[in-house]
Structure 1
C-alpha cells in the first residue's frame, strides 16, 4: 500500500488519510514536484503539508531527490518529491497491425524500458502476447513481478471486450490471455486513441486542451481531446476518421463502406496509387526514399493524399474546433512532402475565420506513442481522463 496505515479511525485520522491520498495522487498525476508546487496544487497549509510529507517519506511511500538541471536562483538545488519507484510499475502494450510495441514506467514517472518487434499481419494473439512478454522480459530494467497493471491498445473500435464486435475482431479473449500471462489487471482501448492521449500529455500537443490526432498507417484512425479530456464516444467509436467517405464511387472499404479515407490514405492504398503512376518502390521505405529524392510520381501521390486528408480534417474541425492537429503514423515520416499538401487543403476547406486558429504538427512520440498512452490509461494520471470510464479490475485479476 502506498498510503500509511493507522490504528485509530477517528475524524482526525480520516482527515489525515485524505490529505495523504491528495498528496500521493498529485505525485501520481504529475510526477516529481517540489514542496512549493505540492503546496500550490494541494491547497494544504505549509505546516500540514510538512507533517504529511514527513510521514510519507518516513514510511517509504515518497522519496526525495535533487535533479541537477534545476537550481534556485541562489544556486541551491531544488528538492523534488516523487512516489517511491519501488512501489510498482505500469506497462503499456500496443498491438499494432504488424508490430508489437511495449513501454514501462515506474511510479516516479521514469521510463524504464521500451522495445518493438515487427511481425506478419496474420500472427495469432497468443504469439503476439509471447512477443510482448519476451520484449518486456529481455529489458533489464523491467521487473515483471512488480507490475500493478497493463494498459493495452488494439486496432479497431473497442466497446465491451466480451461483445459481438470484440468477437468479430478476435479480441474477446484477449484480456484473459493477458491476465494469465502477466497476472495483473488489464485495461483495453483503441491503440490510435491511446496515441492521441500520449501526444496530448507528453508529445506534440501537450500545450493544447483541444486536439485532433490522425494516424496514417496500415489503417487510418485518430483520437479527439475535447475541452481537456480524451473523448471516447458512445460504444468507443470516437476517432474513426479513416471511415469518413472521400469518394462515394471509390473502392470498397473493410468497414463495409465505399471510398473511405482509409482506401486512399492507408499505407497499402498509397503504395497502390504510387505504382499506378509507374512508381517502382516495393515498400514504404522505398516510397519515402523516392519522395525524399524528389521523384515526381511519389510527390504527386503525396499531394493527392494530402488533399484527401486535409479535406477530411477540415470537416472534423468544423465539428469540434481543435486548436492543434497532430499527424502521426509511418506515412508522416514523409515530412513536408505530405504535411504541406495537408495544410494547403485544410486551409482551403476551413472557414476563413477558423484558419488562423488551427496548428498542424507532426507527432513526436513515434512507435512508443500508443504504449505510453496505455500507461497513462493505467495510471489515470491526467485530467485528460477525467471523463473516461474507470474500469474496476476483477478481484482475481
Structure 2
C-alpha cells in the first residue's frame, strides 16, 4: 500500500489529518504528549507503527512543508474598531528541517520498537502460562488427582505450619506419587501456589518448609520420581520467594538452601542457580522459552515482522523526505536562475534605452 493512501474510514482519516496539523504547528512535543495519553486507545495505533502509520508520516511531512511555505499574515487592521489592549501574538514554532524530521522519525521508531518489545514479552509470558496450564489440565485428566483435597491439606500448613500439618501434606504427596505424571502435577501445583503474585511471605515460607520435609523423605525412601519433579520446580519456588522479600526474611530461606546443599538433594547446576537467585530465575525463564518454543516462536515472529515493517516505513519516509528536499533545492536553484535572467534582460533594456536617449 502506498504510504500516501488515506484510510477509507473518514473518522480515522480526520483523526490522522488533525493530529498531523497539530504536530506540524506545535512541534514534536505535542506528538510525544499524544502518544503518552493515547497509548491504550486503538484508534491511535497508527502512532505506534500500526496501520496507516505511513500515511500519518506522509501527511505530517506535507503539513510541515505547508507551515514552512506559509507567508506571514498581512491583514489590514480595522481602524474604525475601538482600540483594545491585546496580548502579543504567540511566536510561531520554527518548522523543523529535514534533518530534524528524520531524527524525530528515528526517535519515534525507537519508541515504537520499545513498546512492541514490551508487548512481545507480555504475550510470550502469557503464551507460556497458557501452555503450562494446559499441561496441568492434561495431567489432571490423566491422573484423576483431586487438587482440592491437596489444597485443603496445604491451608493448615500456610496458616499454622505445625509439624502435624506438614506431616499430613507430606504423607498425601507420597501416597499419590504413583507415576512421574502424578509427581509432576503435585509439584507444579506447589510451584503455582508459591510463585503466584498474590502469595504472601508466610505462604511461600511455609510451603517451602513442606518442600524441605518432602525432599528429606525422598532421599530416605529413594523416591526418585518425586525428587526429580521437585528439582524441576525448586528454582522458581526458591528464587521468587527470595527476591520478593527483605534481607532478614531472606535469611530464613537461605538456611534451607544450606541444608539442601549439605544433603545433596540437587545437582550442582541447580545449586548454583539457587545461590544466585536473580540469575537463576532468569535462566529458568529462558529455559521455558526453549521448552515451549512451539507457542513462543509464532509470537516472536509476528512481532519481528511488525518491527521490520516499522523500519521499512521509516526508511521510506526518509527517502521521501530527501526526494522532496532535492526537488525543493532544484526548484529554488531554477528560480534563482530565472531571476538572474530577468534582471539581466532588464539591464539590457535599460542600456538600449540609454543608448537611444543619448
Q: Higher helix proportion, which one?
A: 2
Larger Rg: 2
Q: TM-score range by the shorter chain?
A: under 0.3
Q: Higher strand proportion, which one?
A: 1
Give the TM-score taking structure 2 as reference length.
0.25
